[in-house]
Structure 1
Amino acid sequence: MRIRAQVAMVMNLDKCIGCHTCSVTCKQTWTNREGTEYVWFNNVETKPGIGYPKHYEDQDRWKGGWILDRKGRLTLRSGGRAKRLSRIFANPDLPSIDDYYEPATFDKDLLVSAPAGLTDTPVKRPRSALTGEPMAITWGANWEDSLGGQSGQDDPSLARMATKVKLEFEKTFMFHLPRICEHCLNPACVSACPSGAMYKRAEDGIVLVDQDRCRGWRMCVSACPYKKVYVNHATGKAEKCTLCFPRIEAGLPTICAETCVGRLRYLGIVLYDEDAVLAAASVPDPQDLLDAQRAVFLDPRDPGVERAARDAGMPDEWIEAAKLSPIRKLISEYRIALPLHPEYRTLPMVWYVPPLSPVLDAAGAAGRDDADADDVFHTIRDLRIPVEYLAELFTAGDTEAVAGVLMKLAAMRSYMRSRTLDGTVAQDLLDRIGMTAEQVEAMYRLLAVAKYDERYVIPAAHAKDAAALDAQAAGHDGCALDCEGGPGMSDPFHLSARP
């Protein structure tokens, strides 16, 4: 057993209002420079929808992630080393700028410098940020935000569902899905990189790009099934979400989590067995991948695990942070967080609590009591369309796993409502979801009213590792803040101020 620590994130989708504050602050911090006009390390998608870039979930087209070969061995969907090298100069599985969007700018100076006496009112017209030529804006990173799911018929996840579901999807609901790099335990981008520029940090599991080694082969873009690796067209090199590692090293949350209006993001440390990753990613049935990945995670309160972690040189601060981690609670203890597309077999480390609000709305619309657990449970079972869709996103189609999570969330709301109004304890309700009153109340506190230091449990870089971290940053120029073509902003991470 080889114990590793991983910085991970969980997002509670019930709280996301689609304000895009996370996207804007990430954009201003990391990709506000030439060559990254179209790049969004963090974006918020409206589901059902085709996403950004368009149809990124269609792996038959993009060849991202991993598959099992005829012998049951894990292999990249994009092919083995020989196949990738044979087309290293002409990779056909790359999104074009049309699949992302052509970024636009506006000649705002025209509005203030136009001469007086014009018969027509001056208008700022869109121009391409890439070519400077006039253009028509037809798509964007959050284009579907205003469509209310009306492009959902082209959603790859929806296309895999039954005909009845596809015809009646407009009767379900829409919700917002924030996305960043998954910082996977089994990252396909790292394995596909011919030059070894993509790497996963041993101390915290963050996946980064060494700009000195990157040669712009773009195999990482094809291999990433989430399409969260981009090419800087000014430098010709790959860039991606860094999980704001300078902030993480200082014990601060990522900029997207720090500025999240809905307080829906949770950050923390999980311990896992590196030796178990390959077996977990190789289970034959995709619907078994959720339990297989959960089994990779270790309990930091187990004396044997704690002793092994110390023997491996893990700092005590990291072990204590793992014990208090909200990520472990949501994923392994309460079991209400789910990974995005586990069937890609990358073992992603950004998980989601699925949205419950549409289920409660449907219960009321059906004339049922949305405060009654039995009525809500029946609605969850009967409301096959959204549960099936959520299952396509988070459990490789396993509707029972999603329904179980929604039932826990519904039971929590019903229990806390009764507990607050008249002080009663619905023991039968607790028995049905297999949780104790203490667990339900702790889950409610974490999801609803958790304080800053409860949502973000991040140990600062250990003092003895500080020199090594500085040396590593110096050796990987693309990760430094002051490199040529880098963000280069003055204290963009606000390391001098902790809320």
Structure 2
Amino acid sequence: MKIKAQYAMVLNLDKCIGCHTCSIPCKNVWTNRDGAEYMWFNNVECKPGIGYPQKWENQDIHKGGWQLKRGRLQLKAGGRLHKGINIFHNPDLPTIDDYYEPWDYDYARLIDSPKRRHQPSVRPRSRLTGEPINLKWGPNWEDDLAGLAETGAGDTNFKNLEIETYLQFRNVFMFWLPRLCEHCLNPACVASCPSGALYKREEDGIVLVDQERCRGWRYCVSGCPYKKVYFNWKTGRAEKCVFCYPRIEAGLTTLCAHSCVGRIRYVGVLLYDADRISPAVKAPSDQAVYPAHLDILLDPNDPEIERAATAQGIASNVLAAAKRSPTYALIKEWRLALPLHPEFRTLPMVWYVPPLSPVSSQVAPVQESETIDRLRIPMAYLANLLTAGDEVPVRTALKRLSAVRQYMRTQRVEKRSDKSLLDSVGLDEDTIQTMYRLLALGRLEDRFVLPTRPVQDDVNYARQGCCGFGDTV
């Protein structure tokens, strides 16, 4: 057993309001320069839809992630030999039109316009060519234009569903999907890079790009099935989400999580067994990857795990944070959070709590177990998005979310406790109360549990200065 630490994030889709507040500070801090205009390390997509870049989920087009072939795990886009032969031509790379051609406006024409009869106007102008362009796509295109009717048919999550049914107005549904780099345990982007520029940090699992080693081959872009590695057209280097590691190292959470007005994000440390990664990614079926992924995660409160982690060099402050981690509770203890497209076999470490939705087409009262299957968002759609089509984990998560709402409602409104409701979802009263405080109230100290320096190092830490801002008196 080889124990390692990994930063992880959970996003509660049941509370996301699609305000894009998470995207703005990320954009302003990390991609506010030439060549990075079209990069959105964090973006919020409208589902159903084909997303950003276009059809990123369709690996028949983009060839991202891994596949199991004759019992062996292989990159879907091909191995070293394939990349060596085609190193100057990558047919699986998304084009700029799949993102959008970055543009600006000639604002001076408005400011310096002489007096005239009609209001002056300007056309969008490409940042790449300097020529006027017609806008056809963008990171929020489906959001702004309610694009289901136009692009819904291209959403791969409608697999085994009759898309025509959900294109009808009375059956339409919608929810938000914030996305960032998954910082996977088995990152395809790292394995795809011919120059070895991408790497996964040993101490916290954050995936980064070494700008000095990057040669701009862009196989990391096509290899990532989530399309969260970008190519800077100005510098000729790859760039991606860095999980705000300068803030993380100072004990602060990421900018996207800190700025979230809906309090939907949870950041914490997980312990995992690196020796179990290989068997997990080679699970015999796509639906078996998620349970195998859960088995990799270790219980930090287990005394044997704690002793083994200490013996292998895991710091005491990391262990203390792992014990209080909201991500471990949401992912493994309560089974509320699920991975995004586990069939890509990258073992992502950004997880999602599926959204509840209003009950549709209910004429007469039904049992609670039947109500979950009558939600407006199809169970099969969420399963295709989060569990490779397995509806059982999604149904379990939604039932528990619903149980928290109903139980707290009976306590607050009806002044009684319905224990039968708890038994039906396998939870006790203390757990329900803890889930309620974390999900509904979401205090900052509960949502973000990050390691700080051990107490015994505080004296030296103060002498060296805090976070590089100067000496501390």
The answer to whether TM tops 0.5 is yes
Using the TM superposition, give the Cα deviation of residue 154 of structure 1 relative to its aligned residue in structure 2, in angstroms. 2.9
The counterpart of 1:398, out of the listed 373, 390, 400, is 390
**What whole-Å deviation, never above 9, does each CA across 1:28-50 have from its counterpart, x for those lacking one?**
00001011011110010000000
- The answer to whether the Cα contact below 8 Å between 1:10 and 1:337 also exists between their aligned partners in 2 is yes
Question: 1:110 matched to which residue of 2?
Answer: 109
Question: 2:126 matched to which residue of 1?
Answer: 128
Is the partner of 2:22 in helix, strand or coil?
Answer: helix
Is the partner of 1:454 in helix, strand or coil?
Answer: helix
* Cα distance, 1:147–1:368 mapped onto 2, change above 3 Å: farther
What does 1:46-65 align with in structure 2 at a 5 Å threshold?
Answer: 46-65=46-65
Report sequence identity in percent. Answer: 54
**What whole-Å deviation, never above 9, does each CA across 1:137-183 have from its counterpart, x for those lacking one?**
11101101023333343333244223x35433541410110000000
**What whole-Å deviation, never above 9, does each CA across 1:76-112 have from its counterpart, x for those lacking one?**
1111211111111111110010011011211222222
**What whole-Å deviation, never above 9, does each CA across 1:225-263 have from its counterpart, x for those lacking one?**
000000000111110000000000000010111111111
The counterpart of 2:362, out of the listed 341, 347, 366, is 366
**AA at the equivalent of 1:128:** S
Is the partner of 1:362 in helix, strand or coil?
Answer: coil
What does 1:201-216 align with in structure 2 at a 5 Å threshold?
Answer: 201-216=201-216
**AA at the equivalent of 2:133:** M
- The answer to whether the Cα contact below 8 Å between 2:104 and 2:127 also exists between their aligned partners in 1 is yes
- The answer to whether the Cα contact below 8 Å between 2:287 and 2:387 also exists between their aligned partners in 1 is yes
**What whole-Å deviation, never above 9, does each CA across 1:99-144 have from its counterpart, x for those lacking one?**
110112112222221112x122111321112222111111101101
Aligned pair count?
Answer: 459
What does 1:133-282 align with in structure 2 at a 5 Å threshold?
Answer: 133-148=131-146, 149-162=148-161, 164-170=162-168, 171-282=171-282
* Cα distance, 1:342–1:252 mapped onto 2, change above 3 Å: same
Q: TM-score, normalised by structure 1?
A: 0.88
* Cα distance, 1:417–1:385 mapped onto 2, change above 3 Å: closer
Matched, 1:387 2:379: yes
Is the partner of 1:301 in helix, strand or coil?
Answer: coil
Question: 2:409 matched to which residue of 1?
Answer: 417
- The answer to whether the Cα contact below 8 Å between 1:47 and 1:152 also exists between their aligned partners in 2 is no
* Cα distance, 1:384–1:124 mapped onto 2, change above 3 Å: closer
- The answer to whether the Cα contact below 8 Å between 2:13 and 2:264 also exists between their aligned partners in 1 is yes
- The answer to whether the Cα contact below 8 Å between 2:362 and 2:374 also exists between their aligned partners in 1 is no
Matches of 2:63 and 2:276, distance apart in 1: 25
Using the TM superposition, give the Cα deviation of residue 291 of structure 1 relative to its aligned residue in structure 2, in angstroms. 1.0
Matches of 1:15 and 1:142, distance apart in 2: 19
* Cα distance, 1:40–1:368 mapped onto 2, change above 3 Å: farther
- The answer to whether the Cα contact below 8 Å between 1:46 and 1:176 also exists between their aligned partners in 2 is yes
**AA at the equivalent of 2:122:** K
Question: 2:432 matched to which residue of 1?
Answer: 440
Structure 2 spans left out of the alignment, 5+ residues: 459-466
**AA at the equivalent of 1:97:** I
Is the partner of 1:447 in helix, strand or coil?
Answer: helix
Matches of 1:13 and 1:327, distance apart in 2: 15
Using the TM superposition, give the Cα deviation of residue 384 of structure 1 relative to its aligned residue in structure 2, in angstroms. 8.3
Is the partner of 1:253 in helix, strand or coil?
Answer: coil
Question: 1:485 matched to which residue of 2?
Answer: none
* Cα distance, 1:78–1:461 mapped onto 2, change above 3 Å: farther
Q: Which moved more, 1:383-392 or 1:212-221?
A: 383-392
**AA at the equivalent of 1:131:** T
- The answer to whether the Cα contact below 8 Å between 1:270 and 1:322 also exists between their aligned partners in 2 is yes
Structure 1 spans left out of the alignment, 5+ residues: 467-492
Using the TM superposition, give the Cα deviation of residue 324 of structure 1 relative to its aligned residue in structure 2, in angstroms. 0.2
Matches of 2:179 and 2:453, distance apart in 1: 26
Is the partner of 1:21 in helix, strand or coil?
Answer: coil
Question: 1:484 matched to which residue of 2?
Answer: none
Matches of 1:399 and 1:172, distance apart in 2: 20
Question: 2:461 matched to which residue of 1?
Answer: none
- The answer to whether the Cα contact below 8 Å between 1:290 and 1:339 also exists between their aligned partners in 2 is yes
**RMSD between aligned alpha carbons?**
2.0
Matches of 1:65 and 1:157, distance apart in 2: 16
**What whole-Å deviation, never above 9, does each CA across 1:397-446 have from its counterpart, x for those lacking one?**
01122111111111110111001123322111111101111111111110
**AA at the equivalent of 1:48:** P
Matches of 1:112 and 1:165, distance apart in 2: 49
Matches of 1:410 and 1:159, distance apart in 2: 24
The counterpart of 1:426, out of the listed 418, 441, 444, is 418
- The answer to whether the Cα contact below 8 Å between 1:188 and 1:223 also exists between their aligned partners in 2 is yes
* Cα distance, 1:158–1:298 mapped onto 2, change above 3 Å: closer
Using the TM superposition, give the Cα deviation of residue 15 of structure 1 relative to its aligned residue in structure 2, in angstroms. 1.2
Q: Which moved more, 1:166-175 or 1:339-348?
A: 166-175
Matches of 1:308 and 1:73, distance apart in 2: 31
Is the partner of 2:14 in helix, strand or coil?
Answer: helix
Q: Which moved more, 1:131-140 or 1:378-387?
A: 378-387
Matches of 1:152 and 1:61, distance apart in 2: 16
* Cα distance, 1:464–1:102 mapped onto 2, change above 3 Å: farther
* Cα distance, 1:302–1:62 mapped onto 2, change above 3 Å: same
* Cα distance, 1:151–1:47 mapped onto 2, change above 3 Å: farther
Matches of 2:468 and 2:13, distance apart in 1: 27
Matches of 2:167 and 2:276, distance apart in 1: 39
Is the partner of 1:150 in helix, strand or coil?
Answer: helix
**AA at the equivalent of 1:400:** V
Q: Which moved more, 1:453-462 or 1:16-25?
A: 453-462
**What whole-Å deviation, never above 9, does each CA across 1:14-65 have from its counterpart, x for those lacking one?**
1111111111111100001011011110010000000000001110111100
- The answer to whether the Cα contact below 8 Å between 1:192 and 1:223 also exists between their aligned partners in 2 is yes
Matches of 2:150 and 2:453, distance apart in 1: 44
Matches of 2:455 and 2:77, distance apart in 1: 41
Question: 2:93 matched to which residue of 1?
Answer: 94
Matches of 1:265 and 1:428, distance apart in 2: 30
